[in-house]
């Protein structure tokens, strides 16, 4: 017996199979939700400059893209619309023939099994780029709720399986739940962007979705990155209003928040691995500074370890490919 007393942690790390036996967290294809951007027009597959390998797709090219997603074993997509026309009230968001509504119909027709999530917000559709009705430079809360409920109902009518409101008006889950129920959509779940920070990490998405605010910022409705207790207040109210899933967004700089939400609520928790988190990795990888595959898997496993059940990520197709090998 040696005199020196210490623990031998390396015993369990000796071989790959041994490490496999004691591995605590796994990433599965079922964890992945793939975001897509749909546009009006034909034969359009326009690259988003700030997001390599992300495209604006017209509806005629959507089927091929969804076929690839389904073949890779991905079970769910979240749809973002980039409308041809914007106006003060974001009417394209709740038009039965809006771009998202049409895209949902096209997808569900060919892939009824694929879980289609509709992002429910107004900012891509409003001329001022804010997520609500604007009057005298202020984003109005209560009048916006009706438009959100109308948007959610039209998306459910089009065949959306899940409504994901991202707009951060107070009461948005209550208003949408009420609207969906009234319209006979009791069975459609709400995946609420409950904890959504006002983040610079959304920069590339706003390029992609043409949704930058034309004046001011989103700080009166999205959360201050410095706050933790407030995240639980946001999650609490959304649960009380009827949210079936809770999203924390962004993911990487908010792992503590993910764990807090997981520890406090027993609904599925979702991380949104946002555009800035994606583009930073892509830029560094393009320069040969990091190993993209290993970095991405480490990031996503970190989110799972922090407590999420599902991850919305632009890397979903790559990850699904890696998991197949």
Question: How many Å apart are CA 249 and CA 193, to the nearest integer?
Answer: 7
Q: What angle do CA 226, 165, 192 make, to 5 degrees?
A: 60
- Residue 121 interacts with ligand PBG (CB under 6 A): yes or no: yes
Question: How many Å apart are CA 190 and CA 193, to the nearest integer?
Answer: 9
Give me the least distance between CB of 167 and ligand PBG, in Å please: 6
CB 200 within 8 A of CB 276: yes
Question: How many Å apart are CA 101 and CA 34, to the nearest integer?
Answer: 18
DSSP per-residue letters across 229-266? HHHHHHHHHHHHHT-SEEEEES-GGGHHHHHHHHHH--
Give me the least distance between CB of 123 and ligand PBG, in Å please: 5
Q: What CA–CA distances, in Å, run from 283 to 34, 46, 238?
A: 20, 19, 36
Considering only 50, 166, 192, 313, the residue that binds ligand PBG (CB under 6 A) is: 166
Segment near ligand PBG (CB under 6 A); pick from 115-123, 148-156, 257-265, 299-307? 115-123
- Residue 119 interacts with ligand PBG (CB under 6 A): yes or no: yes
- Residue 149 interacts with ligand PBG (CB under 6 A): yes or no: no
Label residues 288-319 b or e (16+ Cβ within 10 Å = b): eeeebeebbbebbebbbebbbebbbbbbbbbb
Position of minimal CB gap to ligand PBG: 205
Considering only 172, 185, 197, 205, the residue that binds ligand PBG (CB under 6 A) is: 205
Task: Kindly report the length of the chain.
Answer: 325
Considering only 101, 155, 275, 279, the residue that binds ligand PBG (CB under 6 A) is: 275
- Residue 210 interacts with ligand PBG (CB under 6 A): yes or no: no
Question: How many Å apart are CA 77 and CA 100, to the nearest integer?
Answer: 12
Closer residue to ligand PBG, CB minimum distance, 76 or 211? 211
Residue numbers 174-203 binding ligand PBG by CB under 6 A: 202
Give me the least distance between CB of 201 and ligand PBG, in Å please: 6
Considering only 274, 300, 308, 319, the residue that binds ligand PBG (CB under 6 A) is: 274
Catalytic residues: 196, 249
The count of C-alpha atoms lying within 13 angstroms of the C-alpha of 6, restricted to the half-sphere facing its C-beta, is 5
Residue numbers 280-299 binding ligand PBG by CB under 6 A: none
Closer residue to ligand PBG, CB minimum distance, 36 or 62? 36
Segment near ligand PBG (CB under 6 A); pick from 106-114, 170-178, 204-212, 257-265? 204-212
Binding site for ligand PBG (CB under 6 A): 119, 121, 123, 131, 166-167, 202, 205-206, 211, 218, 274-275
């Amino acid at each position: 017996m040696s005199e020196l007393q210490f623990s031998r942690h390396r015993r369990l790390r000796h071989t790959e199979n041994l490490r496999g036996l004691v591995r605590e967290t796994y990433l599965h294809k079922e964890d992945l939700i793939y975001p897509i951007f749909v546009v009006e027009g034909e034969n359009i597959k326009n690259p988003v400059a700030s997001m390599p390998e992300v495209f604006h797709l017209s509806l005629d090219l959507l089927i091929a893209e969804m076929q690839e997603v389904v073949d890779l074993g991905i079970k769910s997509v979240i749809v973002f619309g980039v409308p041809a026309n914007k106006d003060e009230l974001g009417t394209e968001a709740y038009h039965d023939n809006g771009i998202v509504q049409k895209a949902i119909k096209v997808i569900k027709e060919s892939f009824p099994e694929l879980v289609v999530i509709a992002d429910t917000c107004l900012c891509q559709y409003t001329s001022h780029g804010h997520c609500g009705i604007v009057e005298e430079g202020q984003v109005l809360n209560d009048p916006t709720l009706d438009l959100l409920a109308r948007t959610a109902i039209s998306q459910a009518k089009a065949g959306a399986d899940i409504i994901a409101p991202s707009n951060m008006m107070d009461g948005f889950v209550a208003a949408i739940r009420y609207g969906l129920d009234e319209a006979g959509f009791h069975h459609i779940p709400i995946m609420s962007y409950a904890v959504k920070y006002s983040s610079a990490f959304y920069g590339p998405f706003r390029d992609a979705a043409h949704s930058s605010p034309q004046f001011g910022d989103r700080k009166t409705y999205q959360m201050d990155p410095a706050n933790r207790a407030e995240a639980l207040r946001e999650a609490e109210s959304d649960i009380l209003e009827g949210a079936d899933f809770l999203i924390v967004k962004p993911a990487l700089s908010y792992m503590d928040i993910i764990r807090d939400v997981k520890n406090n609520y027993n609904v599925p928790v979702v991380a949104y691995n946002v555009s800035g988190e994606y583009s930073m990795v892509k830029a560094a990888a393009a320069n040969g500074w990091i190993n993209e595959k290993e970095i991405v898997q480490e990031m996503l496993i970190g989110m799972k370890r922090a407590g999420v059940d599902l991850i919305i990520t632009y890397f979903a197709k790559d990850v699904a490919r890696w998991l197949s090998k």
